[in-house]
């Protein structure tokens, strides 16, 4: 009995301790949060607002107006014009986050030239009308918001253009936008269209012939006063983001390639574009150039000037070997009379020569080729 009593006491103590041990419950089947517990409802979980994504991704009010209305010094967009007015392969990179960004979503110049990239997403709110396309050369007048242009995804392009102005200065500008060819097809351009007029909000306008918009135009990878090389085709764009050293959102503007490296194309980059008119009336033809002396026999060392009534609106392309000139030929008037007239120098006749030349400029068809023959006495 004396041995049994201690054993009974130990048994009772062990039972008392065991009653205080925690009971282990099964793991919850909903990931650890009970239904109805704080933080589990849709109201309390953080969500991403699609509306906010659209507004952030496409910029806030005023984001597309940086630099608007300021003429770029190198573009000569106020120089006198002949019309007398003042100035598809998909990328493997992610699409731009907004107008003014490159494929990686950061601001900067595109490193692809003319290869269609994934365009920015159209904004949720299309915004105000920024472009009207009219004239008897389209089936009906159409109006376009920025959202409408961004929605033309198959026509989206990123192109770096070689540029030449009347100084002349040489450079490059990169533009992101919609192909003018694609846009005008959507607008119903007619088969008989002959000319296209681009007008800015300040009244400045440029009229181009159909061929000057849709002809064989190029951009030159290497482009300077010492020469140009690396030509590749460059279709025209209506761009909503562009720049020389940095691409950024801007008011819309057309961009065009060049028929040759000395062709002035910056005057056609109409800033703050708001109206495109397509016409079917016949276009004019530039008169051919003339020369300052009569043909025939001349003393060795005789100098001659090439002449034109619209010398500041055209370029005179010429050859001295009797071959027909083209847009890659030498240019007689490399600058204008109001910029650098000293660059317009006479040609010296030192031997028998046949000069062939034509005049070309915006708004009219190029002239016929004129021929001048001289023999040295």
Contacts 24+ apart (CB under 8 A), 343-349: 344/305, 346/292, 346/303, 346/304, 346/305, 347/303, 347/304, 347/305, 347/306, 347/320, 348/301, 348/302, 348/303, 349/298, 349/300, 349/301, 349/302, 349/303, 349/304, 349/374, 349/376
Domain with CATH 3.90.420 in the chain: 68-279
Domain with CATH 2.60.40 in the chain: 290-376
* pLDDT tens for each residue of the chain, 377 residues long: 444 444 444 444 444 444 333 333 332 333 332 222 222 232 222 222 222 222 222 222 222 222 323 333 333 333 434 443 433 333 333 333 233 232 222 333 334 454 555 666 655 566 899 999 999 999 999 999 999 999 999 999 999 999 999 999 999 999 999 999 999 999 999 999 999 999 999 999 999 999 999 999 999 999 999 999 999 999 999 999 999 989 999 999 999 999 999 999 999 999 999 999 999 999 999 999 999 999 999 999 999 999 999 999 999 999 999 999 999 999 999 999 999 999 999 999 999 999 999 999 999 999 999 999 999 99
CATH of 290-376, one of 3.30.310, 1.10.3470, 3.30.160, 2.60.40: 2.60.40
- Domain 68-279 fold is Sulfite Oxidase; Chain A, domain 2 (3.90.420)
- CA atoms of 331 and 76, how far apart (whole Å): 19
Count how many residues are written for the chain: 377
Is 367:284 a contact under the CB 8 Å cutoff? Answer: no
- For 88-132, how does the pLDDT look when each residue is reduced to its tens digit (9 = 90+)? 333 333 333 233 232 222 333 334 454 555 666 655 566 899 999
Distances (CA, A) of 136 to 54, 212, 236, 334: 37, 19, 21, 36
b/e map 274-302, b = 16+ CB within 10 Å: bbbbbbeeebeebebbebeeeeeebeeeb
- For 290-315, how does the pLDDT look when each residue is reduced to its tens digit (9 = 90+)? 999 999 999 999 999 999 999 999 99
As given in the structure block, the two tokens for residue 315 are 């370029």
């Amino acid at each position: 009995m004396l041995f049994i009593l201690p054993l009974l006491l130990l048994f009772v103590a062990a039972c008392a301790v065991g009653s205080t041990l925690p009971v282990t419950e099964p793991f919850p089947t909903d990931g650890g949060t009970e239904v109805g517990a704080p933080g589990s409802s849709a109201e309390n979980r953080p969500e991403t607002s699609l509306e906010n994504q659209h507004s952030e991704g496409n910029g806030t009010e005023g984001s597309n107006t940086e630099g608007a209305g300021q003429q770029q010094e190198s573009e000569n967009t106020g120089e006198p014009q002949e019309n007398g007015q003042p100035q598809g392969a998909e990328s493997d990179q992610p699409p731009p986050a907004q107008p003014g960004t490159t494929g990686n979503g950061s601001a900067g110049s595109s490193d692809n030239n003319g290869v269609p990239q994934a365009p920015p997403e159209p904004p949720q709110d299309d915004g105000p009308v920024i472009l009207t396309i009219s004239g008897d050369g389209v089936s009906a007048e159409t109006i376009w918001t920025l959202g409408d242009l961004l929605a033309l995804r198959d026509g989206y392009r990123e192109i770096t253009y070689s540029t030449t102005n009347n100084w002349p200065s040489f450079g490059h500008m990169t533009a992101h936008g919609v192909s003018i060819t694609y846009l005008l097809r959507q607008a119903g351009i007619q088969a008989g269209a002959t000319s296209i007029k681009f007008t800015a909000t300040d009244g400045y306008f440029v009229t181009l012939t159909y061929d000057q918009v849709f002809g064989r135009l190029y951009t030159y990878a290497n482009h300077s006063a010492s020469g140009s090389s690396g030509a590749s085709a460059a279709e025209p764009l209506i761009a909503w983001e562009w720049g020389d050293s940095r691409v950024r959102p801007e008011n819309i503007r057309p961009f065009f390639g060049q028929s040759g490296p000395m062709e002035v194309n910056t005057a056609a980059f109409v800033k703050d574009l708001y109206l495109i008119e397509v016409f079917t009336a016949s276009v004019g033809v530039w008169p051919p150039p003339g020369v300052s002396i009569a043909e025939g026999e001349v003393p060795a060392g005789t100098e001659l000037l090439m002449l034109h009534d619209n010398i500041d609106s055209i370029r005179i392309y010429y050859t001295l070997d009797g071959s027909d000139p083209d847009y890659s030929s030498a240019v007689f008037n490399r600058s204008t009379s109001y910029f650098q007239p000293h660059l317009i120098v006479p040609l010296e006749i030192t031997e028998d020569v046949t000069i062939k030349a034509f005049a070309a400029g915006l708004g009219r068809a190029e002239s016929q080729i004129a021929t001048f023959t001289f023999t040295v006495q």
